[in-house]
């Protein structure tokens, strides 16, 4: 079956499609405001003219590359290219401020590739049994999962946990704006018709990270980049030339990857498992594995200030999630994320219906070959990412060389267009500006911005799943009715009580 898959993918036309899709994916992912989902949606009409293997190859490659490419603007200008990069925006950008952007991007690239490949392995070897877990998820389990993701955002926030909690609450509050699925009337729109949609997270994210950084730079241009990154091993940005740095980074990179092999395995497993759950994707995967990484790390203090460990783990997880998302899509025909939702549509257009039948080799050999070629495409796409990603890193690193007085106006332009392009609304641009001012203000008080974004993304879902659960059963014990909900709920409670326990222990030890 795999050989048939290899045969069908290693055709010059399919490989050409993959190469083209890789470049396209990198370009879109690198532009803040354009997500992987949008990249694929834009491509759908085109797939009508491709055959089925080509169409699937195009989708798989585009997503793989755009999720990595999201790391480029995250690292270089601190504007997350896709929401999946928001978890480690501060770390990646801190490395850039210390002049180590090439190293940071190489970590992103190689961990993305390894995470992506691991995701494929999970998809190939464990799809049918793992998919059974996904069918166990009712609203109760989702509630706990979202709560767990949100708790992680507080755990990982650098500095004061209380400030992280405050940021999360602000994000959650923003997520209640608008007309939700559970209510008949919009909330807190303050008379703005446009707010009935709620606070869109793409413009919010661009504003919080991008515009606030521009404003900070505009207000205090004299501040040296090194001033705030004292916690990282100091590398002098001005004396180390980019080329030396690259050589140095390649040597260091192998060592780093080898040392992190177990944690990379751990975060890829988390990534693939979370990616498999419908409604939870690469973004939550990145947050949770980042939090787990911090908990197990020997240097938790570095997290948020340029930790390559956190960066490696989280960026591996978000790419592993992509493979995971195909599990429920192929096994049940239920999409694991918005991208696989589109992919299912394309498959059906080609008269292929995902579902258990797709794995029965005797009944329909054509479909099984197609499944195999999905696997092979994933591998090829990840390998293709290496050369194209390296080239993209080189090209993007030139950004850093542009003097700030030229870069800042250009970033402002990109923020405007990026927040406008998702839904073509001028209101979104103003929203972006408002969020930029909010982010700017909060940062001067050292409140982390990451939890706001996660609160905004997951807040609505959390409330929705909670109300859904209450509609189904008003009995509180239903929240702990089966092994999965007990595990997830127990983890949440443990996470929240852990600081109390350690403080209690420290007090006892100290007193």
Residues in 457-476 that interact with another protein by CB under 8 A? 463-464, 467-468, 470-472
Helix pair angle (52-69, 308-331), 10° resolution: 160
Structure tokens at 287: 């947050």
The DSSP output letter for 137 is -
**Selected binder of another protein within 1, 2, 20, 227 (CB under 8 A):** 227
Output DSSP code: residue 351: T
Nearer to another protein, 251 or 476 (CB): 476
Residues 409-428 that bind another protein (CB under 8 A): 409-410, 412-417, 420-426
Near another protein by CB under 8 A: residue from 129, 254, 357, 365: 357
Interaction residues for another protein, span 250-289 (CB under 8 A): 278-279
CB of 224 to another protein, least distance (A): 11
Q: Least distance (Å) from another protein to the CB of residue 89?
A: 19
Site for another protein in 101-160 (CB under 8 A): 134-139, 159-160
Per rule CB under 8 A, is residue 163 in the interface with another protein? yes
At 392, list the tokens: 């993209």
What are the C-alpha distances in Å from 235 to residues 66, 229, 310, 448? Answer: 30, 10, 19, 25
Closer residue to another protein, CB minimum distance, 268 or 419: 419
* 433 scored as a contact of another protein (CB under 8 A): yes
Name the minimum Å distance from CB 254 to another protein: 36
Distances 397 to 91, 145, 393, 400, 503 between C-alpha atoms, Å: 17, 37, 6, 6, 44
Q: Cβ of residue 406: shortest distance to another protein, in angstroms?
A: 6
Number of residues that bind another protein (CB under 8 A): 112
Q: State the minimum distance, in angstroms, from the CB of residue 438 to another protein.
A: 13
Determine the straight-line distance between the first and last CA of the chain, rounded to whole angstroms: 66
Q: Do residues 336 and 328 touch, judged by C-beta distance below 8 A?
A: yes
CB of 412 to another protein, least distance (A): 6
Distance CA 110, CA 106 (A): 6
Largest Cα separation within the chain, whole Å, is: 74
Give the DSSP per-residue string, 444-456. Answer: HTT--SHHHHHHH
Site for another protein in 176-205 (CB under 8 A): 176, 178-188, 193-194, 196-198, 200
Beta bridge partners of 178: 187
Residue 491 is a binding residue for another protein (CB under 8 A):
no
Binding of residue 364 to another protein (CB under 8 A): no
Residue 235 CA, distance from chain mean position: 28
**Token pair in block for residue 57:** 């190859």
Residues 390-409 that bind another protein (CB under 8 A): 403-406, 408-409
Contacts of 434 (CB under 8 A, 6+ apart): 207
- Nearer of residues 221 and 254 to another protein, judged by Cβ: 221
* Nearest residue to 410 (alpha-carbon basis) of 205, 200, 210: 210
237 CB-near residues (< 8 Å, 6+ apart): 98, 99, 225, 226
- Name residues contacting another protein, limited to 25-54 (CB under 8 A): 27-28, 34, 37-38, 41-42, 44-45, 48-49
| CB 75 to another protein: min, Å | 21
CB of 150 to another protein, least distance (A): 12
Q: How far is the CB of 368 from another protein (least distance, A)?
A: 15
Rg (the chain; Cα; Å): 22
- Give the residue, chosen from 165, 192, 265, 480, that forms a contact with another protein under the rule CB under 8 A: 165
- The region of 88-96, 342-350, 374-382, 388-396 touching another protein under the rule CB under 8 A is 342-350
Between 365 and 409, CB nearer to another protein: 409
C-alpha span between 314 and 312 (Å, rounded): 6
Kindly tell me which residue out of 3, 353, 487, 497 binds another protein, with binding defined by CB under 8 A: 353
Smallest distance from another protein to CB 369, Å: 19
- Kindly state the smallest distance separating residue 62's Cβ from another protein, in Å: 13
Tokens of 467: 């109300």
Binding residue (CB under 8 A) for another protein from 203, 281, 354, 489: 354
348 binds another protein (CB under 8 A): yes
Q: If binding is defined by CB under 8 A, does position 244 make contact with another protein?
A: no
Binding status of residue 73 toward another protein by CB under 8 A: no
Angle, in degrees to the nearest 10, between helices 161-175 and 426-444: 160
Residue among 115 and 198 whose Cβ is closer to another protein: 198
355: CB partners within 8 A, 6+ apart: 331, 332, 333
CB of 262: closest distance to another protein in angstroms? 33
d(CA 311, CA 303): 9
Q: Which of 21, 108, 114, 215 binds another protein (CB under 8 A)?
A: 215
Buried b (16+ CB within 10 A) or exposed e, 370-382: bbbbbbbbbbbbb
């Amino acid at each position: 079956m795999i050989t048939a898959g290899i045969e069908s993918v290693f055709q010059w036309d399919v490989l050409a499609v993959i190469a083209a899709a890789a470049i396209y994916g990198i370009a879109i992912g690198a532009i803040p405001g354009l997500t992987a989902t949008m990249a694929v949606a834009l491509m759908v009409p085109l797939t009508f003219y491709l055959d089925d293997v080509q169409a699937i190859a195009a989708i798989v490659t585009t997503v793989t590359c755009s999720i990595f490419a999201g790391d480029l603007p995250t690292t270089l200008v601190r504007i997350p290219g896709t929401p999946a990069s928001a978890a480690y925006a501060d770390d990646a950008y801190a490395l850039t401020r210390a002049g180590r952007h090439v190293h940071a991007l190489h970590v992103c690239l190689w961990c993305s590739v390894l995470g992506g490949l691991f995701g494929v392995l999970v998809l190939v070897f464990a799809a049918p049994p793992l998919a059974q877990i996904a069918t166990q998820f009712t609203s109760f389990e989702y509630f706990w999962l979202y709560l767990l993701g949100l708790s992680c955002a507080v755990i990982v926030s650098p500095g004061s946990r209380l400030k992280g909690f405050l940021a999360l609450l602000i994000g959650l509050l923003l997520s209640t704006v608008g007309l939700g699925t559970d209510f008949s009337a919009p909330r807190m729109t303050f008379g703005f018709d446009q707010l009935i949609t709620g606070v869109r997270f793409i413009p919010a994210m661009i504003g919080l990270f991008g515009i606030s950084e521009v404003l900070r730079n505009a207000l205090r241009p004299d501040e040296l980049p090194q001033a705030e990154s004292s916690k990282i091993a100091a590398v002098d940005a001005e004396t180390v030339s980019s080329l030396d740095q690259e050589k140095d980074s390649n040597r260091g990179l192998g060592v780093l990857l080898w040392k992190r092999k177990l944690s990379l395995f751990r975060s890829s497993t988390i990534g693939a498992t979370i990616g498999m759950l419908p409604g939870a994707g690469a973004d939550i995967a990145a947050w949770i594995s980042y939090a787990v990484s911090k908990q197990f790390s020997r240097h938790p203090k570095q997290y948020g200030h340029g930790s390559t460990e956190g960066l490696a783990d989280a960026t591996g997880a978000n790419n592993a999630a992509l493979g995971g998302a195909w599990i429920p899509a192929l096994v049940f025909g239920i999409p694991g994320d918005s991208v696989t939702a589109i992919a299912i549509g394309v498959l059906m257009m080609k008269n292929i219906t995902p579902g258990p039948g797709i794995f029965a080799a005797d009944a329909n050999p054509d479909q099984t070959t197609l499944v195999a070629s999905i696997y092979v495409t994933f591998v090829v796409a990840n390998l293709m990412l290496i050369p194209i990603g390296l080239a993209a890193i080189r090209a993007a690193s030139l950004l850093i060389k542009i003097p700030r007085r030229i870069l800042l106006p250009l970033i402002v332009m990109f923020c405007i267009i990026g927040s406008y392009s998702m839904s073509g609304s001028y209101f979104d641009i103003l929203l972006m500006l408002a969020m930029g001012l909010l982010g700017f203000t909060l940062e001067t008080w050292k409140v982390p911005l990451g939890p706001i974004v996660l609160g905004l993304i997951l807040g609505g879902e959390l409330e929705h799943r909670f109300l859904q659960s209450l509609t189904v059963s008003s009995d509180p014990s239903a929240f702990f009715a089966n092994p999965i909900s007990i595990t997830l709920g127990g983890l949440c409670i443990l996470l929240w009580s852990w600081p109390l326990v350690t403080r209690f222990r420290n007090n006892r030890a100290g007193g």
